[in-house]
Amino acid sequence: MATDGGSGDAGDEQAPVRGRLGSEDKSVKVLHGLGSAVLLLSEYWRSVIDGLRPGAAPPDRVQALARAAASMADNGLHKTAADLFETASFGQERAALWAAVCCALVVRLNRHGSPELQKALSYVSAAYCTLAVLVGMYYLFASGPIVLLALGIGLGVMHTATRT
């Protein structure tokens, strides 16, 4: 242990500890959590639809999802958000949402990165998550009680990743 202010344990104790990004940006954290929930629900519904047998009548829950998606498609705001979502992701909406959620987690878990870069990446991924929530709102409407689980996991993961 150095006592002259040089490198050693004593010098480390005096350095200010910077918390993880976003502890003060609660709205960005919520948007990241909602984006995570939409990602979880979209993957859930993808697995349900992929598991359907060809030619078999879809179950009621899949029909409810189709009705919710059709009712949202008529909304002008949803159409605009869907077009912007597709354009921003270069036609790869699923991959881009995965990237945005993973980027949000990496930024929140990284204590030592550049604060300006982390904040910019956090806001960009929050904006993309907002588009994903607007476009994937029918997942929230058609999922029933599962939506509570997805919201809890999404918001909980972002809260835990941000805790200092």
Neighbours of 1 (CB within 10 A): 6
Long-range pairs for 140-149: beta carbons < 8 A, 24 or more residues apart: 140/37, 140/38, 140/41, 141/68, 141/72, 142/45, 142/61, 142/64, 142/65, 142/67, 142/68, 142/69, 143/41, 143/44, 143/45, 144/61, 146/41, 146/44, 147/37, 147/41
**Contact in structure between 102 and 116 (CB atoms under 8 Å):** no
Model pLDDT, residue 164 = 52
**Contact in structure between 36 and 156 (CB atoms under 8 Å):** no
Long-range pairs for 148-153: beta carbons < 8 A, 24 or more residues apart: 150/37, 150/38, 150/40, 150/41, 150/44, 151/33, 151/34, 151/37, 153/36, 153/37, 153/40
Q: Answer whether residue 23 shows pLDDT above 80.
A: no
Q: Answer whether residue 19 shows pLDDT above 50.
A: no
pLDDT digit string (tens) for 70-117?
777 777 777 787 788 888 878 788 888 888 888 888 888 887 778 888
Q: What is the CA radius of gyration of the chain?
A: 20
CA–CA distances in Å: residue 31 to residues 13, 52, 123 = 35, 32, 10
- 3-state class (DSSP) for residue 156: helix
pLDDT digit string (tens) for 115-139?
888 888 889 899 888 888 888 887 8
pTM of the model: 0.76
